[in-house]
Chains A and B, each alone.
Chain A
């Protein structure tokens, strides 16, 4: 069964304390892995798409990487405004369906 698992469920960091969020997936024939940011009371906002193992993408303090079984979202020197829920999703092979993980709630303390 195609599945996406995110860990940890919640993470508290001090401002400037770097860390990583994990997204593991079990799909055959990955057609894209997506990272989204979701602020409370709002819809998810697209961050990155990764297509193949070894690929990396960066945006400000965020860097996403991909292996054959998992993706990491690295947060370098986070600021309080990085506090949000980060969602990971994959496109199910051969379909137009997307499978989302349950997200990681990140809180960055000043």
Chain B
């Protein structure tokens, strides 16, 4: 199993550009999520999904869109990038957390720099 994969590893954008961060998992996990990690702020939840066609907002959803058309893929879209979106983005997946304590598997991250 490849686990959770993310592409690209690193991206530089100009303010106003759009892009999609890709995330895929091959563990048949129902739950997938996106986090951003900033110095001193910890991991903050952007959006999450509990299955194909079902998404919801996390703590910091503004400026980001998601969709979940398949169990395996959960792309994150930046419609108009802003310097405040410079961060490291992590995708994670797990079995549905209906039962308490489902640990999440994280991808290697995408480093995004918005100029």
Contact = CB atoms under 8 A, between A and B. Distances in A.
A83 interface: no
A41 B103 CA distance: 21
Interface string B83-109: 000000010100001001111111111
Given A96-B50, A102-B41, A31 B100 contact: yes
B8 interface: no
B104 A98 contact: yes
A43 B100 contact: no
A5 to B, nearest CB: 10
A32 B101 contact: yes
Contact of B109 (A42, A46, A96, A98): A42
Contacts of B50: 96
Contact of B42 (A32, A42, A49, A103): A103
Contacts of B45: 97-98
Interface in B26-57: 31, 33, 35, 40-45, 48, 50, 56
A91 B97 contact: yes
Given A42-B108, A43-B107, A49-B101, A97 B59 contact: yes
Contacts of B41: 102
A97 B48 contact: yes
Interface of A: 31-32, 34, 36, 41-46, 49, 51, 87, 89, 91, 96-98, 100-103
Given A34-B103, A87-B43, A96-B48, 10 more contacts: A31-B100, A43-B107, A51-B100, A51-B101, A91-B100, A91-B101, A97-B59, A98-B45, A100-B35, A101-B42
23 contacts: A31-B101, A32-B100, A34-B101, A34-B103, A34-B104, A41-B109, A43-B92, A43-B106, A43-B107, A43-B108, A43-B109, A44-B104, A44-B106, A46-B104, A87-B42, A91-B100, A96-B56, A97-B48, A98-B33, A98-B45, A98-B104, A100-B42, A100-B43
